[in-house]
Structure 1
Amino acid sequence: MSKVSVTLNGREFTIGCEDGQEAYLKELAQTLDRRVGTIASQVGQIGDLRLLLMAALMLVDEQKDAERRVEALESHVEHLRRERSGSATVQAADRDRLARHVLQIAERLDRFADSLENGDSGEPELSTNADLAEARA
């Protein structure tokens, strides 16, 4: 376990931390010290305990606000995922319908080609404009 010296509101404190966490702990303490300094410049030196309490309450308020934003963003992402999934289902159904129409047209063309090879003089079964419009829909 390591020991780190930090300064808050002009007072030095020694705090223990896990090995390798020293720089991070100092960064946290500097953030808190800046916050305490800002509050002290606004309300004066009202005592370390009150300044730390006010700073802690402000930080917790910011944390709660950040948590609410994260929840809202996660909800939005989930909504987009569901929307995307639904869109993919519709696209798959459209592809299937189009594939069936292409297959029907190919079968009609095969029958037409067979009738030409056999010398049939009957009217060929070609797709009508209605069939083509339905395939595009």
Structure 2
Amino acid sequence: MPQVSISVNGRDYRITCGAGEEEHVLALAALLDGKARDLTKRLGHISEGMALVMVGLTLADDLAEARRQRDDLAAHHDTAATAAEAAESRERDQAAAEEQAAQAIVAMAQRIESLAERLERT
């Protein structure tokens, strides 16, 4: 299995990963390193364990926010889909009503022509 070298908050680590996952692991490590460095800048020197917990909480908070946004988008999508279905239903109803009206007009026109023909014969 491939291994990659990563650096998190100034410490180097060798990580084993699946074949083809090297770039992904490096990108994740860069994200983790950025969070750890930002935390160290804001809080000063803290123990490695505390840094791990704080970075984990920060990432968990980011994940929770992303999930909330995903759920909000899904709810918005569901609302939009329901509105689209209602609009399509109204359009179908309107088309059916227009078809009925057209048929009624044709029937009336035929009846008027029939009456006109009878009047002309008399």
> Equivalent residue for 1:100?
100
- Are positions 1:34 and 2:43 aligned together? no
Residues 9 and 48 of structure 1 are in contact (CA less than 8 Å); yes or no, is this contact kept in structure 2? no
TM-score, reference length from structure 1: 0.81
> Equivalent residue for 2:13?
13
> Equivalent residue for 2:88?
88
> Equivalent residue for 1:65?
65
SS across alignment from 1:120: helix
List gaps (5 residues or longer) in structure 2: none
> Equivalent residue for 1:130?
none
Residues 40 and 46 of structure 1 are in contact (CA less than 8 Å); yes or no, is this contact kept in structure 2? yes
Alpha-carbon distance between aligned partners in 2 of 1:41 and 1:27, rounded to the nearest angstrom:
21
TM-score, reference length from structure 2: 0.90
Quick check: which has more Rg, 1 or 2? 1
What is the identity, as a one-letter code, of the residue corresponding to 2:51?
L
What is the identity, as a one-letter code, of the residue corresponding to 2:114?
D
Alpha-carbon distance between aligned partners in 2 of 1:92 and 1:119, rounded to the nearest angstrom:
39
Alpha-carbon distance between aligned partners in 2 of 1:86 and 1:119, rounded to the nearest angstrom:
48
RMSD: 1.7
- Are positions 1:113 and 2:113 aligned together? yes
List gaps (5 residues or longer) in structure 1: 122-137
Alpha-carbon distance between aligned partners in 1 of 2:81 and 2:21, rounded to the nearest angstrom:
38
